[in-house]
Chain A
């Protein structure tokens, strides 16, 4: 009778200690509350867009950055920018070329603390090109879950998005800002 509570306590301690030793916490994304957006510029005027279809595997612990990992897959045909002409052009060969490259993929290679900020370094594969991309991470635990905001910037021509005749950056701006807001639930 005396032994059981001790074993339970031990098991509880062990269960608590185990993830601390090897893993940061895994989360599932709440798709309805989460957004993956981007913003570019056209003829001196900025426009906002977002992806409707994407998935993200998030493992994160502010105290264990080495064990943290983001793995995001984006369905490029789901890009919407609120303009039918532009949305018609984005999946085409000149831009995302979704027939050949339906998805973009971002996976972190490491996290680092930079002052008060956490930076996620990773590789973005888009349109068959893989390049390093760094994102600023803001993680806020909320109850058993969390909110995660990331932002960064990519050069569209690094990936050949709008290359060729659309390469003129005085018409279509060179930088595309990326910002995502994820609502996470503990797995």
Chain B
């Protein structure tokens, strides 16, 4: 498996970006939904701090990944009807947009609320906007609803990948999996 993508599968760097971001979204999504109901405590502060640190990491990974995606050549589409290929690319574009919008809307909300923003207790990042508690409510709603939208798009993304893997038995999922080899003779 090479660092760069080839005609058969994604390269290990593209795979690493994909699965790191997937893990980050999973962890931050679950915590993000649960943490707001916690009563004030040090655990709540710590979990919020971790949520922000992970979100910022996803944001940084987004830009690195985008740069790599532009440099690396993506493997050609697996054989599929045109509408499926268009739908897949549209889903990917939407995912990229949402993966960017999630941390940015969180950062914006955090700024409007006047909270500090620290990355794993190592350094602080500036506020994106001045304190405005009224607008902060709107920003929080945007952050939350963007996540529900992300969840819907992810269901389509994951659902399509599983459909290709288990029903079409092609390489769509395999070529992104970390430790598998692509099928030599994809079923027709």
Q: Is the beta-carbon distance between B124 and A45 smaller than 8 angstroms?
A: yes
Contact with B along A68-101 (1 / 0, CB 8 A): 0000000000000011110011000000000000
Residue in chain B with minimal CB distance to A84: B133
- Which A residues are CB-close (under 8 A) to B182? none
- Which A residues are CB-close (under 8 A) to B121? 43-44, 170-171
- Which A residues are CB-close (under 8 A) to B2? none
Contact with A along B32-64 (1 / 0, CB 8 A): 000000001111011001000000000000000
Q: Is the beta-carbon distance between B41 and A83 smaller than 8 angstroms?
A: no
- Which B residues are CB-close (under 8 A) to A14? none
Residue in A44, A82, A88, A171 whose beta carbon sits within 8 Å of that of B46 in the complex: A171
Q: Given that A171-B45, A171-B46 are known contacts, is A43 also in contact with B40, CB under 8 Å in the complex?
A: no
> B114 contacts the other chain (Cβ, under 8 Å)?
yes
Residue in A43, A84, A170 whose beta carbon sits within 8 Å of that of B124 in the complex: A43
**A157 → B minimal CB distance (Å):** 14
Residue in B114, B116, B133 whose beta carbon sits within 8 Å of that of A44 in the complex: B116
- Which A residues are CB-close (under 8 A) to B133? 84
Residue in chain B with minimal CB distance to A45: B116
- Which B residues are CB-close (under 8 A) to A89? 40
Bound together, the chains give a CA A171 to CA B53 distance in angstroms of 14
Interface residues on A, range: 10 to 19
Name the residue among A43, A85, A89, A171 with the largest chain B CB count within 10 angstroms.
A43
Contact with B along A27-43 (1 / 0, CB 8 A): 00000000000000011
Bound together, the chains give a CA A42 to CA B46 distance in angstroms of 12
Q: Given that A82-B114, A171-B45, A171-B46 are known contacts, is A44 also in contact with B124, CB under 8 Å in the complex?
A: yes
Q: Is the beta-carbon distance between A171 and B42 smaller than 8 angstroms?
A: yes
> A165 contacts the other chain (Cβ, under 8 Å)?
yes
- Which B residues are CB-close (under 8 A) to A45? 116, 118, 124
- Which A residues are CB-close (under 8 A) to B45? 43, 171
Q: Is the beta-carbon distance between A43 and B41 smaller than 8 angstroms?
A: no
Residue in chain A with minimal CB distance to B115: A43
**B122 → A minimal CB distance (Å):** 9
- Which A residues are CB-close (under 8 A) to B43? 165
**A160 → B minimal CB distance (Å):** 15
Q: Is the beta-carbon distance between A44 and B49 smaller than 8 angstroms?
A: no
Contact with B along A146-182 (1 / 0, CB 8 A): 0000000000000000000110101100000000000
**A96 → B minimal CB distance (Å):** 15
Residue in chain A with minimal CB distance to B43: A165
Q: Is the beta-carbon distance between B40 and A165 smaller than 8 angstroms?
A: no
Bound together, the chains give a CA A84 to CA B123 distance in angstroms of 25
Residue in A42, A82, A85, A168 whose beta carbon sits within 8 Å of that of B40 in the complex: A85
Q: Which of A112-159 contact B (CB under 8 A)?
A: none
Bound together, the chains give a CA A44 to CA B121 distance in angstroms of 7
- Which B residues are CB-close (under 8 A) to A42? 116
Additional A-B contact list (6), CB under 8 Å, known A42-B116, A170-B121:
A43-B49, A44-B118, A82-B114, A84-B133, A165-B43, A171-B46
- What is the interface of chain B, defined by CB distance below 8 A to chain A? 40-43, 45-46, 49, 114-118, 121, 123-124, 133
| Cross-chain pairs A/B with CB under 8 angstroms, 8 sampled | A43-B124, A44-B123, A45-B124, A88-B40, A89-B40, A171-B42, A171-B46, A171-B121
